[in-house]
Amino acid sequence: MRQVTPLTDGWILRHPDGTGGTLPASVPGCVHTDLMAAGLIPDPFLGRNEAEVAWVGRRDWTYETELRAGPGTYEQTDLVFDGLDTVAEVLLDGRPLGRTRNMHRSYRFDVTGLSGRLTVRFASAYAEAEAVRGTVGERPGAYAEPYQYLRKMACSFGWDWGPTLVTAGIWRPVRLEHWSTARIARVRPLVTVEDGVGRVELAVDVERSRVEAPLTVEAAVGGMRARAEIDGTRGTVRLRVPDARLWWPRGYGEQPLYDLELTLLHGEDALDTWRRRIGFRTVELDTSADAHGTGFTLAVNGERLFARGVNWIPDDVFPSRVTRERYRRRLEQAAGAGVDLVRVWGGGIYESEDFYDACDELGLLVWQDFPFACAAYPEEQPLRGEVEAEARENVVRLMPHPSLVLWNGNNENLWGFRDWGWEPGLAGDSWGEGYYLGVLPRVVAESDPTRPYTAGSPWSGSWLRHPNDPAHGTHHSWEVWNRSDYADYRLDVPRFVAEFGWQAPPAYATLRRALPGEEPAPDSPGMLHHQKADDGNGKLERGLARHFAVPEGDFDRWHYLTQVNQARAVAAGVEHWRSHWPVCAGTVVWQLNDCWPVTSWAAIDGDGREKPLYHELRRLYADRLLTVRRDGDGLVVAAVNQSAEDWRGALRLRRMSVDGTVIAEAGPVLAAGARSVAVTEVPAELVPSGPEEFLVADAGRVRALHFPAPDREIPYPRPDFEVALAPDGITVTARTLVRDLLLQADRLDPDARADRGLVTLLPGEEVTIGVRGWKTPDPRTARSALYCVEPTR
């Protein structure tokens, strides 16, 4: 049986020129984390330290350890790297074993009978990128850094939410594999289900050390077994699982997973095993034309669904630090917010098995981008061969996961070619189209025909239309954040909104940790350094001024109001687009998470703290949602019912004054069928007539509010409320209208967390806010951490 020896201990890091001595190295890891552990560089996440460590990415680095020969009872020993970041030469006692130039691939070297000093020399990613650029010529990109010239995590070169920390190192596990006769080289599992019968077809490739040895493979899943012979180096084994239980996205059913095991046999001697968990389900992508344009609707097990999504970026700019537990925690947060789809964005990586395992278990659908983002990518060698090799490896690696439902060719590159001034400058040079419309769909069709592929996001499906046409395919909505008010989300109904979002600063405690010794202000040095978006603060200020009087010199109010504005902006889009199901079939909010402490579009900040947007997503992505929208000169209430049961009952409508007076009231019948939207017209006498009035719509515990004017025009009363301690939290009782009350629990204690975000209370209503991690509960300190909208002075 194949034996595995992890190579995690005894590594050292040095400069290739021999200067500076050596220091202990962690494997998996990277140069930055090793230098930090040795106290040689400061934490680049703090203050403006990022600039002080920029030199690290421009140096060459060497990792070394001692490699001992494997046990003599095995015929072959392989040295296997699951990930090398990025351009490296691997040597054993000075003898070259091979060279690498792709962070997204694994590598295997024959070291049978060898021992000695194992050396991995990493060249600067900048040097490699500049050399490739010199060979293939200049290509445009959204950022000045040369990330499109090598196969590396693009966002390590910085983004509009991320630091420029260009890494190098052995970023995934490394090991020795000892084996005899043959080993399993690759397994390509095709998992389908038809008429309740699960079908598994395993295409198996083996590597032999003895050509003449007869080999068989045996597979087992769900109590069923089957065998097949290996013909040369390949074989196929097929299994049928009667009455297979279907895997469903969260909210639609359960997520049963089956243990699948494949054993390679020589006679009855087991030589190698391969194990995965699989799930039986079907997935389709409906892109057919209709009266509204061209759709983009996912269907799982025949059930068409509105995708309640978030975009995922690498959870740390040093991805080797993201543990299985951290993946699980972040994805549980996503599931807790009602999310059912996670898009792995194209400027990052193919994530580890831990990520996809958690999605399988939690019922989170995965939309997987191939790693191309916001640039023209050359199609010449050495890149073209690397792209195909990485795609083939990762498509097969991720195929077992039922959560994976869509392959996407790139992020914004088709759009960029048409709209960002690339086309004239390229003058016929390659820019990536051959990947997105040629190489990648061919690899997916050949390797993984069970899943749909789309050429890019956004993409209208044809060059006959604009790539970002909202009426066709996927759409990215960024004009609103960049140039207008979030109310403009309501001006159209895209078929599928794959990106949109609004910025806000991170939690207060996150800022205090990230900016030691600095009193934060919107334009303080540290705050500006941790704002990477072009004119980011300007857009925050202009977006705020459309709704509120911008507080001058009051950071706490500015911090609160920008977080309110973020939650309201995303709510404006999601409510509107969900209410137009099935024309619009999904929203994917930019973004779920951050890779460091920064002002960004994230719902969960770089320290893992949940912004008010996170809690708002719980409301927006709940199975049942009420929203009020304009319809001509009047208003309608849309009842969005994504649950499997009908939603019936009374709809209580109240036209109210901000002083708490009920001006008019009605109780029409609500009747929304399962997986549908029901629209009820608001009687004319209930439509608010001015900024001092608003509409309340209640259906059981689900509420929608409609204020017809910006907050700066509304004559709010001075908020008045009582605060009392409750078991594991506080209770707030309103004496007046209290709009968007927020407990910033991290102001009570950096470890404290509240179980809810913004809540609006009518006079006489109360809310209990759960708080965990609060060491010394006190209603007076709680009041100091409570914020709400106040009347304009």
Per-residue confidence (pLDDT) for residue 20, from 0 to 100: 63
User: What average pLDDT does this structure show over 740-761?
Assistant: 97
Summarised one tens digit per residue, pLDDT across range 607-622 is 999 999 999 999 999 9
Residue for token pair 């912004």: 611
Is the entire prediction scored with pTM above 0.75?
A: yes
Summarised one tens digit per residue, pLDDT across range 203-236 is 999 999 977 889 999 999 999 999 999 999 999 9
Task: Give the contacts of 689 (CB within 8 A, at least 6 positions apart).
Answer: none
Confidence label for 71 from pLDDT (cuts 50, 70 and 90) = confident
Which DSSP helix (H) or strand (E) runs through 441? helix 440-447
Q: Is the dihedral of CA 326, 327, 333, 336 positive or negative?
A: negative
Per-residue confidence (pLDDT) for residue 35, from 0 to 100: 97
For residues 366 and 347, give the distance between their C-alpha atoms in angstroms, rounded to a whole number. 16
What stretches of 478-531 adopt beta strand conformation (E)?
Answer: 496-499
Per-residue confidence (pLDDT) for residue 792, from 0 to 100: 83
User: What average pLDDT does this structure show over 382-398?
Assistant: 97
User: What average pLDDT does this structure show over 764-792?
Assistant: 94
Task: Give the contacts of 138 (CB within 8 A, at least 6 positions apart).
Answer: none
Listed residue (84, 50, 31) closest to 158, CA to CA: 50
3-state secondary structure of 592: coil
Per-residue confidence (pLDDT) for residue 14, from 0 to 100: 92
Confidence label for 659 from pLDDT (cuts 50, 70 and 90) = very high
For residues 399 and 104, give the distance between their C-alpha atoms in angstroms, rounded to a whole number. 16
Q: Which residues pair with 89 in a beta bridge?
A: 99, 121
Listed residue (283, 276, 282, 278) closest to 256, CA to CA: 278
> Do 624-713 and 181-278 have the same topology in CATH?
yes
In percent, the amount of the chain with pLDDT more than 70 equals 99
For residues 457 and 499, give the distance between their C-alpha atoms in angstroms, rounded to a whole number. 9
Helix axes 536-545, 555-578, angle to 10 degrees: 80
Rg from Cα positions in the chain: 28
For residues 748 and 742, give the distance between their C-alpha atoms in angstroms, rounded to a whole number. 13
Q: Where are the domains of the chain?
A: 3-176, 181-278, 287-620, 624-713, 721-787
Distances (CA, A) of 785 to 741, 745, 791: 10, 7, 19
Distances (CA, A) of 63 to 4, 66, 123, 273, 466: 21, 11, 12, 31, 48
Per-residue confidence (pLDDT) for residue 16, from 0 to 100: 64
User: What average pLDDT does this structure show over 52-77?
Assistant: 94
DSSP symbol at 489: G
Per-residue confidence (pLDDT) for residue 216, from 0 to 100: 97
Q: Is the dihedral of CA 615, 611, 363, 457 positive or negative?
A: positive
7 close to 27: Cβ distance less than 8 angstroms: yes
Listed residue (500, 456, 498) closest to 480, CA to CA: 500
User: What average pLDDT does this structure show over 547-575?
Assistant: 96
Catalytic residues: 412
Per-residue confidence (pLDDT) for residue 130, from 0 to 100: 97
Task: Give the contacts of 545 (CB within 8 A, at least 6 positions apart).
Answer: none
Per-residue confidence (pLDDT) for residue 298, from 0 to 100: 98
Tell me the backbone φ, ψ of residue 585, rounded to 5 degrees. Answer: -115, 20
Summarised one tens digit per residue, pLDDT across range 55-64 is 999 999 999 9
For residues 134 and 512, give the distance between their C-alpha atoms in angstroms, rounded to a whole number. 44
Query: Would you tell me which CATH number, out of the four given (2.160.10.10, 3.40.225.10, 3.40.50.300, 2.60.120.260), belongs to the domain 3-176?
Result: 2.60.120.260
User: What average pLDDT does this structure show over 131-142?
Assistant: 96
Listed residue (693, 702, 520, 719) closest to 626, CA to CA: 702
For residues 347 and 342, give the distance between their C-alpha atoms in angstroms, rounded to a whole number. 15
For residues 104 and 86, give the distance between their C-alpha atoms in angstroms, rounded to a whole number. 9
For residues 33 and 170, give the distance between their C-alpha atoms in angstroms, rounded to a whole number. 12
User: What average pLDDT does this structure show over 42-68?
Assistant: 97
Lay out the sheet containing 197-208: strands in order across. Answer: 182-194, 197-208, 234-241
For residues 668 and 681, give the distance between their C-alpha atoms in angstroms, rounded to a whole number. 9
Per-residue confidence (pLDDT) for residue 17, from 0 to 100: 63
738: which 2 tokens?
A: 């209290």
Query: Would you tell me which CATH number, out of the four given (2.40.50.100, 3.40.50.300, 1.10.3720.10, 2.60.40.10), belongs to the domain 624-713?
Result: 2.60.40.10
Please, what is the Cα angle at 269 between 268 and 272, to 5 degrees? 125
Summarised one tens digit per residue, pLDDT across range 83-118 is 999 999 999 999 999 999 999 999 999 999 999 999
Listed residue (480, 488, 457, 497) closest to 588, CA to CA: 497
User: What average pLDDT does this structure show over 303-307?
Assistant: 97
**pLDDT greater than 70 at residue 477:** yes
Q: What separation, in Å, do the N-terminal and C-terminal C-alpha atoms of the chain show?
A: 77
Per-residue confidence (pLDDT) for residue 317, from 0 to 100: 98
Domain 287-620 superfamily per CATH: Glycosidases (3.20.20.80)
Confidence label for 633 from pLDDT (cuts 50, 70 and 90) = confident
**pLDDT greater than 70 at residue 70:** yes
Confidence label for 18 from pLDDT (cuts 50, 70 and 90) = low
**pLDDT greater than 70 at residue 423:** yes
Query: Would you tell me which CATH number, out of the four given (1.25.10.10, 2.60.40.10, 3.10.180.10, 3.40.50.300), belongs to the domain 181-278?
Result: 2.60.40.10
724: which 2 tokens?
A: 């009392």
For residues 584 and 576, give the distance between their C-alpha atoms in angstroms, rounded to a whole number. 10
Q: Which residues pair with 78 in a beta bridge?
A: 110, 177
598: which 2 tokens?
A: 């920064």
